[in-house]
Structure 1
Amino acid sequence: MTAYLEQFFAGLHGIWDTTFGIFGLEDALDILIMAYLIYHGVKLVRETRAAQLVKGIGIMFLFYFISRLLKLKMLSFLMDNVLQAGLFAMVVVFQPELRRALEQVGRSRISKLPMFSSGLSEQEQLNGWTRFIEALLEEAPSLSRQRIGALIVIEMETKLGEIIKTGTIVDADPSPELIGNIFFPNSPLHDGAMIIRDGRIHAAGCFLPLSDNSEISRELGTRHRAALGMSEVSDALVVVVSEETGYLTICRNGHLERGISMEKLRSVLSSALLSEKDGPEKIFDRRKGRKG
């Protein structure tokens, strides 16, 4: 019996050596990187329309392995060709998600190294954002009360150079009077968006991409669709004043919240610009954000 057990454990030891003897540090690193990529890939598409496409692709791969396992020649031939073409089609189908993933890489900690910074010191940035927040909070009640439409895009990590080119460069310190004058009815820059960069009014009269989300409430006009569209393709924080109701709205990461108070606006702006960059993300409830 003892000899049998010794032989059994010797066999297990041999299997262990055979299996893990060639397992090195680079193999462990490879597995960790793949696990990280898969996890963040799933996280990226989980809350998007692409989630259903991922499920469909998973089912196709399941059929492919079954056909190979059972040696179903016609089905294997069909799945081979479909999957080969599908790899190229995925680049087109998942273009928004791929772009968002690359932008998230650009917004990682690596992008905050000195070589990628804006050139302003942390204190200068803080002072600039503080001046902007105070100017907007002073003017916003007047815009809301008079029902003057306004669309303000606050640039975060994703640069909005292409959007800025569609408008007029202002590059001025923010003030309640300037914000009010830009959005005053029938002024040259009234209908476009104001772009805020590093706490300064960088541009105005800019055109934004409209959201094609079919779940948007029909009550929302062009400004709100533009604000939502801008927040879908960038990490910008967008503030809207409705011309019809005077309601304040904030948009970020494809989520929209209407009818916010001045206190809520201050809280969101302070959290986004004066503390953690990702603070406001938790404020937007997916179940409420798109109902309008």
Structure 2
Amino acid sequence: MDALPALDTFDAILQVLLMSAGVYLLLGFLRTTRGTGIVRGLGIGLLGGGLTLWLVSQMLELNEVLRVFDAIAQVAVIVLVILFHPELRRGISRLGEHELLGRFLRNVQAASVEEVALSAISMAKDRVGALIVFERRTPLESFVERSVPIGAQVTRHLIETIFHPGNRLHDGAIIVRGNRVEAASCILPLTENRELGKTVGTRHRAAMGLSEETDAVILVVSEETGSISICKEGRMERRVPRDALEGILLDSLGGSTLDTDKAERSRGSMVWGWIKSNPAEKLMALALGLGLYVGAWRAGRSVLEFTLDLQVQTAREGRMAALGELLVLTPEEISASVLTGSGQPSGQSSVRVVVRAPRELLGSLRGSLAGRVELKPGGTGERDLTPDEVRWSAARAFDPEELDVSWKGAAPRLVLREYTTTSVILTPQMVELDSSQLGTGWSVDSTSLSFLPSEILVRAPLGAEGPLEERLQFEPILLPERRNEEWTDRPRWNAALRLSDSSRDNGIELLGQSNMLIEVVPAMESVGHVLLDVAVVSLDPTKPDEPDLWEAPSKKVRIEVRARGIFTGSDEEDGGLRVALLEAIRESAHAFVNVSDHELEATEFPVKIQLPMPDAWLVRVPAETSERLRPLGTSFLDIVVEPGGLTLRPKSEPKTNESPGDGG
């Protein structure tokens, strides 16, 4: 840290000039008292000698001497007021009678009006609702007593802070008395005037109500439209032009403007006369002001570095920044990411900040700094984040104006993109299933794949190439290992869908959660092939003779026997089971075609298979295997007939059933 502050900024020069002006006014005030010599000497001694000793103590870090200065400073002002009370009273009285100062005091109301007008214009641009009451001749004490006392100088920043939507005082009105904000959260009476339209809100009705009962002037900023209205004597002037707001307020309050020409003519002589008078006193005031600035800066300033986790989230989540975090909140239609060192956008990063602030403040903030940024709608592309747009906070309350925050290194660079929200119907083709660990003998039942819910909201950047369904990719779902149990136990997994890294990098975001429902069944295994004779049958009991009208099939049908969940992995046991199953199918299964309800012409019929009962083949396997498989019946079997049906032809001379005595 440097020993002296830099005076190359407007802020530093302004502070030195303000301190010098304060010292000069103090010296001028001392001239108005009868104890001028004593008070002036004491004042110069304290300011000059005391300031010099204090600066030396600060630079040499003489902490004990500084503690003594702190103790003396707390009682010195009180002692001086008591000792020179008569002189101070007479000096203040004479100072108030000065023509220039009197003119200033008479225009305090105008200065307050200017601050109110500036704040109203600013809030109107941001569409922040406000209700500001100017007290005139009628006292408003009954409203002040039921409100939150403020008692602070009227400033633009104070008014905007009170009516900020996040402030607990933003509801109700503020009352301006002279040049002070007397109270906030004031409840005003509503007007009963039925001539007001239904579009007039509560703020406007409250302003009208108070203007009907008192001579106050009330300024209203509409939260919905951003328009400015002024109420006085039961009348409302709507949509006041912003550039004419200050003049209209002054006229409503009964103020008047100064003669501009006269002011311009006298301004030059007044400035020249002020420069020529008391040059030594002005130089002394400048030197003392510079010394006060250096001393205050050297005594109170310190530097501390913080490392903050930079997080980017959507403003709809509405959370506050945690300690050690810099939170960037974006509107729902805008998404922001941070360019990392590799040049890739990311939703999180880290940033180092340098904080210059009073030592006492930094001591209490150590390790507890947080920042929050709310980006406004509109604007895409890349831009740097500035410390001035960050709302800094900590574990304890403090004045953000006391902090001088800057980035250490390059500023965080934000990538802003405009987004749209779309409902997407989920399909199994969007998700890859990894069954490498599922185990042999098990497979996914593709016919039962489903999603709960079947649709999901997705945020994606506008202007991207290709349909969203093609750009939406999920992480593969890894199916866990499954033991080879009875196939009737159909396990089901509910797997949560997660976006793939590529989809996240492309700015796609899920606005909900969906699970994929996956059923796992024992896998079908081929047992072998069997040739079966095909019988011609009629399944219609009213046509029992239909098979006699067709030629017998000229070939056998070849079928593949498949089974699931019955093999144990033992070659000896499984081999015997395969042979027994094929023999039972060959001896007991029936292949047939149904010829009922068909015309007598060459027709290709589908071949159907009737499976044997378990007792027909379980007798061929060991008793232990038979007991394990008997409860399954034939439900584990699957018979696949070779493609193509069986073509039958009608007999050339079909038989007829003629009763005796029938004839032509």
Counterpart-to-counterpart distance in 2, 1:124 and 1:160: 26
Deviation, structure 1 residue 273: 3.6
Q: 1:1-292, aligned counterparts within 5 Å?
A: 123=103, 126-273=106-253, 275=255
Q: Which string of whole-angstrom CA distances, capped at 9 and with x for unpartnered residues, describes residues 235-257 of structure 1?
A: 00000000111100000000011
Deviation, structure 1 residue 122: 7.0
After TM superposition, the score normalised by the length of structure 2 is 0.23
Aligned 8 A contact 1:154 1:196 in 2: yes
**3-state SS in 2 of match to 1:181:** helix
Deviation, structure 1 residue 124: 6.0
Aligned 8 A contact 1:227 1:238 in 2: yes
* Aligned-partner residue type, residue 266 of structure 1: E
Deviation, structure 1 residue 188: 1.4
Deviation, structure 1 residue 162: 0.6
Counterpart-to-counterpart distance in 2, 1:128 and 1:206: 23
Aligned to 2:628: none
Return 254-263 or 126-135, whichever deviates more.
Answer: 126-135
Aligned 8 A contact 2:110 2:255 in 1: no
Aligned 8 A contact 2:174 2:184 in 1: yes
Aligned 8 A contact 1:136 1:179 in 2: yes
Q: Which string of whole-angstrom CA distances, capped at 9 and with x for unpartnered residues, describes residues 185-207 of structure 1?
A: 03111011000001211111100
Counterpart-to-counterpart distance in 1, 2:120 and 2:162: 13
Counterpart-to-counterpart distance in 1, 2:110 and 2:193: 33
More strand by share: 2
Deviation, structure 1 residue 125: 5.2
* Aligned-partner residue type, residue 207 of structure 2: A
Q: 1:123–1:202: structure 2 CA closer, same or farther, 3 Å change rule?
A: farther
* Aligned-partner residue type, residue 255 of structure 2: S
Deviation, structure 1 residue 270: 1.7
Q: 1:133–1:209: structure 2 CA closer, same or farther, 3 Å change rule?
A: same
Higher relative contact order, chain-length normalized (CA < 8 Å, sep 6+): 1
Aligned to 1:112: none
Deviation, structure 1 residue 168: 1.0
Aligned 8 A contact 1:170 1:203 in 2: yes
* Aligned-partner residue type, residue 246 of structure 2: R
Q: Which string of whole-angstrom CA distances, capped at 9 and with x for unpartnered residues, describes residues 10-48 of structure 1?
A: xxxxxxxxxxxxxxxxxxxxxxxxxxxxxxxxxxxxxxx
Deviation, structure 1 residue 137: 2.1
Counterpart-to-counterpart distance in 2, 1:264 and 1:270: 10
* Aligned-partner residue type, residue 162 of structure 1: S
* Aligned-partner residue type, residue 167 of structure 1: S
After TM superposition, the score normalised by the length of structure 1 is 0.51
Structure 2: runs of 5+ lacking an equivalent: 1-100, 257-664
Counterpart-to-counterpart distance in 1, 2:248 and 2:224: 23
Deviation, structure 1 residue 139: 1.7
Deviation, structure 1 residue 179: 0.7
**3-state SS in 2 of match to 1:211:** coil
Aligned 8 A contact 1:167 1:192 in 2: no
* Aligned-partner residue type, residue 160 of structure 1: L
**3-state SS in 2 of match to 1:135:** helix
**3-state SS in 2 of match to 1:204:** strand
Aligned 8 A contact 2:217 2:253 in 1: no
Deviation, structure 1 residue 174: 1.1
* Aligned-partner residue type, residue 138 of structure 1: L
Q: Which string of whole-angstrom CA distances, capped at 9 and with x for unpartnered residues, describes residues 213-236 of structure 1?
A: 111111111000000000000000
Runs of 4+ in 1 over 3 A off after TM superposition: 121-125
Counterpart-to-counterpart distance in 2, 1:122 and 1:189: 35
Counterpart-to-counterpart distance in 1, 2:144 and 2:105: 20
Counterpart-to-counterpart distance in 2, 1:265 and 1:154: 14
Structure 1: runs of 5+ lacking an equivalent: 1-120, 277-292
Counterpart-to-counterpart distance in 2, 1:124 and 1:196: 19
Aligned 8 A contact 2:232 2:252 in 1: no
Counterpart-to-counterpart distance in 1, 2:104 and 2:142: 25
**3-state SS in 1 of match to 2:181:** strand
Superposed CA RMSD in Å reads 2.2
Deviation, structure 1 residue 126: 2.8
**3-state SS in 1 of match to 2:107:** helix
* Aligned-partner residue type, residue 136 of structure 1: V
More helix by share: 1
* Aligned-partner residue type, residue 133 of structure 2: V
* Aligned-partner residue type, residue 201 of structure 2: G
Counterpart-to-counterpart distance in 1, 2:202 and 2:218: 14
* Aligned-partner residue type, residue 248 of structure 1: I
- When Rg is computed on C-alpha atoms for both structures, the one with the higher figure is 2
Q: 1:274–1:251: structure 2 CA closer, same or farther, 3 Å change rule?
A: closer
Identity of aligned residues (%): 40
Aligned 8 A contact 1:129 1:274 in 2: no
Counterpart-to-counterpart distance in 2, 1:269 and 1:122: 22
* Aligned-partner residue type, residue 211 of structure 1: T
**3-state SS in 1 of match to 2:247:** helix
* Aligned-partner residue type, residue 182 of structure 2: H
* Aligned-partner residue type, residue 241 of structure 1: V
* Aligned-partner residue type, residue 234 of structure 1: T
Aligned to 2:32: none
Counterpart-to-counterpart distance in 2, 1:199 and 1:156: 12
Aligned to 1:280: none
**3-state SS in 2 of match to 1:139:** helix
* Aligned-partner residue type, residue 121 of structure 2: P
Aligned 8 A contact 1:126 1:274 in 2: no
